[in-house]
Amino acid sequence: MDKIAIIGLGYVGLPLAVEFAKKNKVVGFDINTQRVEDLRKGKDHTLEVTSDSLSKVLVEHPMALTNGRVGFLPSSDIMDISTANIYIVTVPTPVDKNNRPILTPLIKASEVIGKVLKQGDIVIYESTVYPGCTEEDCVPVLEKVSGLTYNEDFFCGYSPERINPGDKEHTVAKIKKITSGSNEEIARKVDELYASIITAGTYKATSIKVAEAAKVIENSQRDINIAFVNELAKIFNKLDIDTHDVLEAAASKWNFLPFKPGLVGGHCIGVDPYYLAQKAQEVGYHPEIILSGRRMNDSMGSYIASEVVKLMVAKEIPVKGAKILLLGITFKENCPDIRNTKAIDLYNELRAYHTDIHIYDPWANAVEVNDEFGVELKDSLENEKYDTIILAVAHKEFLKLDLQNMRNKNSLIYDIKGVLSKAIIDKRL
């Protein structure tokens, strides 16, 4: 039986650890001691795993795993992962303020593994990277820290994560998994490992680089498609045509792709294209479509703020000091994830007009939002009236709100997501 160490217990690592722990000995390692403590109590603030699912696989002590029992031990102690023979890295791969890849979490995770790496061990990376990163950036760290030789003493694989935060239908076991390995035998072993828990099946790529490239283009393709629809929204707005009406009409054709306009954030789709662009530039190619799509989507917060202000002026709502309600701060609906949310861009743009803007989001963690953005969330909406209400995130709770009762006599309702009744809104993106 394999003993698996999963490095990083966030939105990707935790669901994977719980799934593997049903059949294997699993230690989940995270440097966030509070996160580990919460998980040991059966609490997951990401809401990706239920307390019931977590409690079924949790073990309280490392000895429980050494005695042959399968299960999951969350830990911040490197010694608890020292007896593993398979290491899976699921740490974040963000970008900096200039949209350049930050590999620090990946390198740090590789250093941790290198300290305990042994003869015959396999290290599998799941973090989204550019093609070549595993073998060009991570493997040298593993070799340097461990003193071992790649593909002789230890081996690597790459199996990109495809988890969709907040999606309770497409869970980790129900999403087909790309796998790969540093040689033919390891590729087979990695594929068999994931096939043991992935009911949707696996796809064994021909190399680690192919698997890396496949992952990074998945989100880049989606990003470009949404950018196209966002550009359409800008065009149709000038033509005084409802974009959503156009999309619904076009969707009557069987092969029309049903993308919608909006704010494009999140840890994957708003980041991955920059990883591919960075690698392309390193080899002397300047990507045009990929980066133009990113520029379009990154501009939407500013664009929507400008449109809202124009509509307020048209309705003779004084912009300065206007009381505005922004519904939602997470990057997507029915999910507490605020990583790389573009709703904050809209908030900051409207604040620049000296408005009195408030954010309400029952899914977001108020402390986390304050730490990340320096913004306080409203606790409730009781007895509040607003000059402008903007639906930024389509949380299920927002669809039940009586927005009419929250309007001032002359007010504006702007629907970014296109999910509210046309009878109550002034405009939708």
Q: What is the pLDDT of residue 267?
A: 78
- Let me know if residue 109 belongs to a domain: yes
Domain termination site, one of 195, 215, 235: 215
Looking at the structure, do residues 151 and 255 belong to the same domain, yes or no? no
Q: Which of the following is catalytic: 133, 156, 268, 335?
A: 268
pLDDT category, 58, cuts 50, 70, 90?
A: confident
Is position 189 within any domain? yes
As a whole number, mean pLDDT of residues 390-400 equals 94
Q: What is the structure's pLDDT at 265? A: 83
Instruction: Determine, yes or no, domain membership for 82.
Output: yes
Report whether 159 contacts 134 (CB < 8 A): no
Same domain for 257 and 183, yes or no, is no
Looking at 199, 215, 231, the residue that finishes a domain is 215
pLDDT (average), residues 180-195: 97
268 given a catalytic annotation: yes
Per-chain mean pLDDT for the chain = 93
Are residues 131 and 172 located together in one domain of the fold?
A: yes
Q: According to the model, what pLDDT value does residue 331 have?
A: 92
Q: Are 300 and 378 found together in one domain?
A: yes
Q: What is the CATH number of the domain that holds 152?
A: 3.40.50.720
- Annotate the chain with three-state secondary structure: CCEEEEECCCCCHHHHHHHHHCCCEEEEECCCHHHHHHHHCCCCCCCCCCHHHHHHHECCCHHHHHCCCCEEEEECCHHHHCCCCEEEECCCCCECCCCCECCHHHHHHHHHHHHHCCCCCEEEECCCCCCCHHHHHHHHHHHHHHCCCECCCEEEEECCCCCCCCCCCCCHHHCCEEECECCHHHHHHHHHHHHCCCCCCEEECCCHHHHHHHHHHHHHHHHHHHHHHHHHHHHHHHCCCCHHHHHHHHCCCCCCCCCCCCCCCCCCCCCHHHHHHHHHHHCCCCCCHHHHHHHHHHCHHHHHHHHHHHHHHHCCCCCCCCEEEEECCCCCCCCCCCCCCCHHHHHHHHHCCCCEEEEECCCCCHHHHHHHHCCCCCCCCCCCCEEEEEECCCCCCHHHCCHHHHEEEEEEEEECCCCCCCCCCCEEC
Are 178 and 32 in a shared domain? yes
Per-residue pLDDT averaged across 309-335, rounded? 95
For residue 30, is pLDDT > 80?
Answer: yes
Nearest 5 degrees, angle CA 189-CA 195-CA 198? Answer: 145
Tens of pLDDT, residue by residue over 224-262, are 999 999 999 999 999 999 999 999 999 999 999 999 999
How sure is the predictor about 1, in pLDDT bands with cuts at 50, 70 and 90?
confident
Does residue 61 register a pLDDT over 80? no
CB neighbours of residue 195 within 10 Å: 14
Domain termination residue (choose one: 162, 196, 215): 215
Segment 374-384 mean pLDDT? 90
Domain that residue 413 falls in: 243-428
Written as six digits, the tokens of 247 are 């999309």
Residue 172 shares a structural domain with residue 280: no
* Confidence (pLDDT) at 323: 96
User: Quick check: 383 pLDDT over 90?
Assistant: no
- pLDDT classification of 382: cutoffs 50, 70, 90: confident
Residues 59 and 207 in one domain: yes
- 51 or 66, which is more confident: 51
Number of domains in the chain: 2
Is residue 8 a part of any domain in this protein?
Answer: yes
Q: Does some domain include residue 210? A: yes
Tens-digit pLDDT profile for residues 108-117: 999 999 999 9
Query: Do the domain assignments include residue 234?
Result: no
Report yes or no on 264 lying in a domain.
Answer: yes
Q: Do residue 205 and residue 248 come from a single domain?
A: no
Question: Do residue 208 and residue 337 come from a single domain?
Answer: no
Asked if the model's pLDDT at residue 271 lies above 90, the reply is no
Residue predicted with more confidence, 166 or 332:
332
| pTM of the full structure | 0.92
Asked whether residue 264 falls in the same domain as residue 143, the answer is: no
Q: Are residues 257 and 339 in the same domain?
A: yes
Percent of the chain with pLDDT over 70: 100
Domain-located, residue 330? yes
On whether both 307 and 421 belong to a single domain, the answer is: yes
What is the pLDDT at residue 92?
A: 92
Task: For 128-164, write each residue's pLDDT tens digit.
Answer: 999 999 999 999 999 999 999 999 999 999 999 987 7
Backbone angles phi, psi at 68, to 5 degrees: 105, -10
